Amino acid sequence: MCLAVTLLSTMNAMAKFLTTDYPLNQIVWARFAGHLVAMVLLFWPKFGRRLFQSRRYGLQFGRSTIMFISNSAFIAGLPLLHLATASAIMFTAPLMVAVLSVPLLGERVGPRRWAAVLVGFLGILIIVRPGGDVANFGAILIGISAVCFALYQIMTRTVVAQDPPETTIIYTALVATIVLSLVLPFDHKLPTNFFDLVLFTGLGVFGGLGQYFIVKALQYGPASAVSPFYYGDILVAAVLGYFIFGAFPDGWTWTGVAIIIASGLYLAHRERRLQQRN
């Protein structure tokens, strides 16, 4: 999970850097097409055609579409926010999973977990501060990304029990690659230097490996044990944001982050306790 956090945070910094000179569609295409190519090259020798065989094609394509929307909204919001602020807003995804699991999975959420969710959303209000500088279209886009990512996680919970992680990670990038490959010829700009070309390549490789490491982390250990390490993303994002973009979160942002993380950790703790009872 620590490897995943480092790779995905670095990928986000690459995407934010590229948004100043290149179209959004091209950046999102590079992220998913590179992901798809890298993962096929990595797993084809072992799985061959079985890599694309699924027991739930509809669910896999649905996941892929939701991930496409989530990542597009996130990258679109990056130029408008600090990197660490965007990452902090994404931390609400686990809270949204708890909310959406009630109508979508039929799970019961007790009063303690509802309280943790409400406290977590209080944290996001502290970060965004309606009426302040952060409350702009960028925050809305990242919020949309977080909602879609929560839906993606719920759908992944269902599909991982039926398809191997290698197949699941391939389908994650499939819809975006197909759709944007049709759009790319009409909306692209050739990289102007070798460094930008390296960044475009890194988007896919880092994104694909980062998502795969998350799946493997959840395979090797229970979610309640490994998920808290995902919150290390804010530290990596803050360091990268400071050294690359010269931006560092203010005190209010760190306060909101602490509240959201505390809520997420409490939800993970309650989920573990409920699993132990069952």
Q: Give the start-to-end residue ranges of the domains of the chain.
A: 2-277
**CB 267, CB 98: distance < 8 Å:** yes
Structure-block tokens of residue 26: 């091209």
Q: How far apart are CA 36 and CA 173, in angstroms?
A: 6
At residue 224, does pLDDT exceed 80?
A: no
Burial of 133 (0-12, 13-18, 19+ CB in 10 A): exposed
Which residue type sits at 121? F
Question: What's the pTM?
Answer: 0.86
Chain mean position to CA 240: 17
Q: What angle do CA 213, 219, 225 make, to 5 degrees?
A: 90
At residue 226, does pLDDT exceed 90?
A: no
At residue 2, does pLDDT exceed 70?
A: yes
pLDDT of 155 reads: 87
* Digit-coded pLDDT (tens) for 91-136: 888 788 777 877 776 777 778 878 888 888 888 888 877 655 555 7
Closest among 2, 3, 4, 10 to 239, alpha carbons compared: 10
Q: Which string of b and e fits 197-210 if b means at least 16 CB within 10 Å? A: eebbbbbbbbbbbb
Closest among 235, 203, 253 to 13, alpha carbons compared: 203
pLDDT of 121 reads: 85
Which residue type sits at 62? G
> Of 251 and 23, which is predicted with more confidence?
23
| Mean pLDDT over the full length of the chain | 86
Q: What angle do CA 251, 252, 254 make, to 5 degrees?
A: 65
Residue 256 pLDDT class (50, 70, 90 cuts): confident
At residue 228, does pLDDT exceed 80?
A: no
